[in-house]
Structure 1
Amino acid sequence: MSVGLRETPWAHDGVLVEPERGGNGTGVLVLSGSSGRVERERARLLASASVSAALTYRWFGGEGQPAGIWEHSLESFAPAVASLAEHCDRVVLLGVSKSAEAFLLYAADDPAVDAVVALAPSHVAWANVGPGPDGELRPQHSSWSRGGQPVPFVPYDDDAEAPGDPPAYAPVYAQALRTHAGRVAAATIPVERFFGDVLLVAGGDDKVWPSVTFARAVQARRRSLDLPTTLVTHPEAGHRVILPGEPVASGGQHMARGGTEAADRALGERAWPEIRRVLDLP
């Protein structure tokens, strides 16, 4: 156990991390991207910074869980949010990549959410990542469901190629938006329905998907309605944002993520003051 922190096991290999001497009243749900891993170090970092609670868990890919992000129920995040709301004054969602996509979708429908921190986000809902219940990748389905119904999504263009080894998928996502331009409007995340604070963090050398372009689309949609929105970028950073004091993340899918450790850390340093502001930290 980290010094000064109290850690309580949570479902699906998760952990609730709390400072032993209380906190600032903010509870944070911290989830990973397409790795599905438990973000223990990030939760510990936030609790060490004096949020009241940081909760993280494996949200797919574990024992008894779906193998892929295939019509994943947005309502599945509600119990964690409700638990934080019960014990904290406010709730913030902090997601990266696919969980950032999910949290921007989720926040519009849960008044318990006060703010969203979206690292390497998307402005649209995408097709499934990984197989469905039958073990198959095709036909394509939405990554998400709401109220038992699939969320409108942008499919992949199966003729698009991801160059390099490991493969860089950013061109695949860019091509999908062109090929399926007629589906983009319906799949666009209704970020204007969430009135809380949104912080977007993206690297200009992201090889997974063009997160700066996506983040700017979210920013423009919200700023047109004067909704509180901040974008932090670094031109040389990649898909992974490394916050001050964090180790370099490992695991996940075999793919190019772009950036360098130094640039990814520089983006984390730029973003940290804004993250502290959103979390209401001193």
Structure 2
Amino acid sequence: MEITVDTFTAPWEGVLAEPAGGSSVGVLVLAGSSGRVETDRCRLLARAGMTALSIRWFGGAGQPGGICEVPLETFTQAIDLLQTKGAERIGVLGASKGAEAALLLAVRDPRIDAVVAVSPTSLVWGSLGPGVDGESHPCRSSWTWQGKPVPFVAYDDDWTPAEADGEPVAYTPLYERSRQTFAEDARRAAIPIERFTAEVLLVAGGDDELWPSLLFARELVSRGASAGRPVKLISTPDAGHRPRLPGEGPPAPSGRFRHGGTPEADAALGAKAWPDIVGVLGGRDGPAATA
């Protein structure tokens, strides 16, 4: 399918990819803590018949330097842009911290018809990096809504990694310990999936070493089922934190983090999930395409 790809720098840095002739389906694509603009993922979605928009939502001009009290309104404004491009069905595809944002956004913006959360969380977590004031401490919420911090779980400062200095660190134990240390905060910070009207698809690997995304995903499925809101989960036991969709290149080097999985296992999970991702978002074979 022929597509067009446009980059822009205002009101945020971003990229918009769309099929020739446009689409009635618009998808906001949110990266995780890398902060990158997901150009390749937008291209992939555009080739599947959707208009795809990815923006830099922290670390840019006028934005927090880290994931610290990021206004969720940043994303509602991006949805405004998709609607000006003719989108009638709106989806959000987020990975990791972007999945956290996507799930929170679906609670607050009734325009969202579908959410795909890759390596998700069931809770709102504390900040990673500095806010607009340049300060990283004390820990604050990752997000705000209408100027108020979203309830969150802080990190247990007494936790120390098992790995030797200089080795990549697995942070899953930190998240598991922190939710136990701050159990009451964790109850308040639960993402209220029972309030969703959007369709939800979760994608999680059983070997995620960055945070326990499969455990989080199963919690979301369970709470959704209890509220009569079915949530689909696609998983494989050997994939890690970074599933790759068909046609996407290899991930960036892990650096100081252990993500789990292998390139082969991560690609296999992405390939397994891809038909459902296209379907729930409303691509060529999805609900919006056949309506």
Band of TM-score, shorter chain: over 0.9
Give the corresponding residue for 2:72. Answer: 74
CA contact (8 A) 1:34 1:98 kept: yes
Partner SS for 1:152: coil
Partner SS for 2:115: strand
Deviation at residue 88 of structure 1 after TM alignment = 1.0
**Letter in structure 1 aligned against 2:215:** T
CA contact (8 A) 2:118 2:202 kept: yes
Partner SS for 2:108: coil
Give the corresponding residue for 1:111. Answer: 110
Give the corresponding residue for 1:179. Answer: 181
**How many angstroms apart in 1 are the aligned matches of 2:44 and 2:37?**
14
Deviation at residue 85 of structure 1 after TM alignment = 2.6
| Pairing 1:100–2:99 present | yes
**How many angstroms apart in 2 are the aligned matches of 1:64 and 1:254?**
28
Give the corresponding residue for 2:289. Answer: none
Cα displacement string for residues 159-209 of structure 1 (whole angstroms, at most 9, x for unaligned residues)? 112333211111000000111112111110111111110000001110110
158-167 or 247-256, larger mean C-alpha shift: 247-256
CA contact (8 A) 2:127 2:141 kept: yes
**How many angstroms apart in 1 are the aligned matches of 2:129 and 2:158?**
18
CA contact (8 A) 2:63 2:132 kept: no
Cα displacement string for residues 5-25 of structure 1 (whole angstroms, at most 9, x for unaligned residues)? 1122233331110111444x2
Give the corresponding residue for 2:124. Answer: 125
**How many angstroms apart in 1 are the aligned matches of 2:254 and 2:93?**
18
Deviation at residue 134 of structure 1 after TM alignment = 3.8
Selected match of 2:3 from 2, 5, 15: 5
Q: After superposition, where does 1:115-264 map in structure 2 within 5 Å?
A: 115-164=114-163, 165-250=167-252, 254-264=256-266
Cα displacement string for residues 83-138 of structure 1 (whole angstroms, at most 9, x for unaligned residues)? 21341121000000101101111111111100100000111100101122343322
Give the corresponding residue for 1:18. Answer: 18
Deviation at residue 264 of structure 1 after TM alignment = 0.1
CA contact (8 A) 1:161 1:171 kept: no
**Letter in structure 1 aligned against 2:148:** Q
Deviation at residue 251 of structure 1 after TM alignment = 6.0
**How many angstroms apart in 2 are the aligned matches of 1:79 and 1:133?**
19
Q: How many residues align?
A: 278
Partner SS for 2:28: strand
Deviation at residue 75 of structure 1 after TM alignment = 1.1
132-141 or 76-85, larger mean C-alpha shift: 132-141
Partner SS for 1:108: helix
- Structure 1, unaligned stretches of length 5 or more? none
**Letter in structure 1 aligned against 2:271:** E
CA contact (8 A) 1:204 1:236 kept: yes
**How many angstroms apart in 2 are the aligned matches of 1:252 and 1:150?**
30
Give the corresponding residue for 2:288. Answer: none
Deviation at residue 224 of structure 1 after TM alignment = 1.2
Cα displacement string for residues 217-253 of structure 1 (whole angstroms, at most 9, x for unaligned residues)? 1111111122131001111100001001110122686
Deviation at residue 38 of structure 1 after TM alignment = 0.5
Q: After superposition, where does 1:12-51 map in structure 2 within 5 Å?
A: 12-23=12-23, 25-51=24-50
Cα displacement string for residues 56-77 of structure 1 (whole angstroms, at most 9, x for unaligned residues)? 1211112442111111111111
Give the corresponding residue for 2:54. Answer: 56
Q: TM-score, normalised by structure 1?
A: 0.94
CA contact (8 A) 1:82 1:112 kept: no
Give the corresponding residue for 2:89. Answer: 90
Cα displacement string for residues 3-59 of structure 1 (whole angstroms, at most 9, x for unaligned residues)? 821122233331110111444x210000100011000000000001111x1001211
CA contact (8 A) 2:123 2:153 kept: yes
Paired-residue identity, %: 50
**Letter in structure 1 aligned against 2:25:** T
